[in-house]
């Protein structure tokens, strides 16, 4: 069983930055694919970024070039650095873990989820 706890959300003005962190339990964290998803009110949960096989990363087109996903396997953490934030980035952001270690982009591929952290970007 893996438990994920997100932190770092908040209110920021457009153009600002936030850094989200996710602390994970479990001894096999380093082998998991870790992802960030977000869900805005009335919308489906959508992929934001994923990291797997140590250094492989991918991003949604809407955040590529502005967001950076990283992980620290020694500390069992994964982070999402969000720069140049836009009002349309406003959502609840979720950390997720996929034990397969493969490239994973859809919510169904992830077995473990955090409780989410709110990010609000004002215009």
Rounded to whole angstroms, what are the CA distances from 73 to 12, 23, 51, 118, 122? 29, 10, 12, 25, 33
Cα 96 from Cα 36, distance rounded (Å): 6
- Predicted pLDDT of residue 23: 96
Residue 54's pLDDT is what? 79
Spans of the chain below 70 pLDDT: none
- Confidence at residue 26, expressed as pLDDT on a 0 to 100 scale: 76
């Amino acid at each position: 069983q893996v438990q994920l706890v997100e932190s770092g959300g908040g209110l920021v003005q457009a153009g600002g930055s936030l850094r989200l962190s996710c602390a994970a339990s479990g001894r096999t964290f380093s082998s998991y694919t870790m992802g960030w998803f977000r869900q805005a009110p009335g919308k489906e949960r959508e992929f934001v970024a994923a990291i797997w096989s140590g250094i492989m990363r991918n991003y949604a087109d809407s955040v590529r070039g502005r967001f950076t996903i990283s992980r620290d396997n020694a500390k069992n953490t994964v982070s999402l650095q969000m720069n140049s934030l836009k009002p349309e980035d406003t959502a609840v952001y979720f950390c997720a873990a996929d034990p397969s270690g493969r490239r994973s982009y859809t919510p169904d591929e992830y077995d473990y989820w955090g409780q989410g952290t709110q990010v609000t970007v004002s215009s």
